[in-house]
Amino acid sequence: MTTDILRYSCQMALPGFSEETQQLLQQARVLIVGAGGLGCPAGQYLTSSGVGTLGIADYDVVSVSNLHRQILYSPADVGQSKVAVACRRLQAQNPDIKLVPHTEKITSDNVLNIIHQYDIVIDGTDNFETRYLLNDACVMTGKPLVYGAIYQFEGQVAVWNIVYNEDARSPNYRDLFPKVDPTQIPNCTEGGVIPSLAGIIGCMQANEVIKYITRTGELLAGKILIFDAQSMQSRIIKIGATSKTPVRGLSATVNIPGISVTELKERIVADTVELVDVRTEQERDAFDIGGIHIPIDELEGYLAYFTDPKPKVLYCSTGKRSEEAVKLILKKIPDANVFSLNGGLKAYLEE
């Protein structure tokens, strides 16, 4: 018995599986965007199943607060590139597959070129701008997209954009969520997430990829699975058989002016910036690093303040809400001298 057959013998013994089915996995090219809580377990199980080429895309580094749910990393990896560490660990897990690192940020400028290289894409991201970007790029290139999301004790999984024929496809992300206001939805760092949920949903995403590649089972296309980790109950909600939301093109990725923690501290000492806390009143009461307090949902009432030429640095817990706040200000006042604190208070405290 060859090493390949021995390694994959348990899955090849499944009804409907064979050596030919395993070859489909070995010939497949899968892209995981986001090497975090979802991307780590998805990557591990796709690696162990023998997917031939696995691309990992992430431009972030490992931080201490990642470790409770991002299981490919250890304390010794803090500060290192997530993609570099993930590829190293996954390659050790299965030396026979090809790992392709993508360390650049996925933007409207590069997303089509990157996605063109793969057969199917896993969305393991945690921000809505990238979710919509991946969705639209997959619709434009005809690639299926395996969606996963987690928050507190609830997770979601779906498969978007299965091409039935030239005129019909399964629903995409915009069919379910035509528009989302990201400032109103906290992320895992702010709202919390039970770590085991990331493993459950990430494994479900890997499962959908394996089913798609091997043409077995029934895909979560045209429906979304919602899982509750507290009750251990799940339900599947049908969305519809086909997409009714066409995608005409990509929205340009907005580059948000940012400032590092190191530079901010230097400029605070030199008194060359003003701080603006855009978190909620409850968060502000618990802890702050100074400056004035303008909650993000009240920002439009204070736009006159941002016409002053002195630089303003907006901050929140992780940098995501402050980025949205800067985007809103620049839309109203294009020449405003505003920045978002990269990584937010989490990065500030870690440094």
Q: Would you please indicate which residues are annotated as catalytic (active-site) residues?
A: 188, 316
Dihedral pair phi/psi, residue 21, rounded to 5°: -65, -40
212-215 contacts, C-beta under 8 A, 24 or more apart: 212/120, 212/144, 212/146, 212/159, 213/24, 213/25, 213/28, 213/30, 213/51, 213/119, 213/120, 214/16, 214/17, 214/21, 214/24, 214/25, 215/24
Between the alpha carbon of residue 294 and those of residues 234, 275, 284, the distances in Å are 39, 10, 10
Considering only the C-alpha atoms of the chain, give the largest distance between any 2 of them, rounded to a whole number of Å.
74
Residue 169 pairs in a beta bridge with 163
- Residue 23 CA to residue 347 CA, distance in Å, equals 44
Contact indicator for 322, 284 with CB cutoff of 8 Å: no
- Residue 215 CA to residue 198 CA, distance in Å, equals 25
- Residue 209 CA to residue 284 CA, distance in Å, equals 42
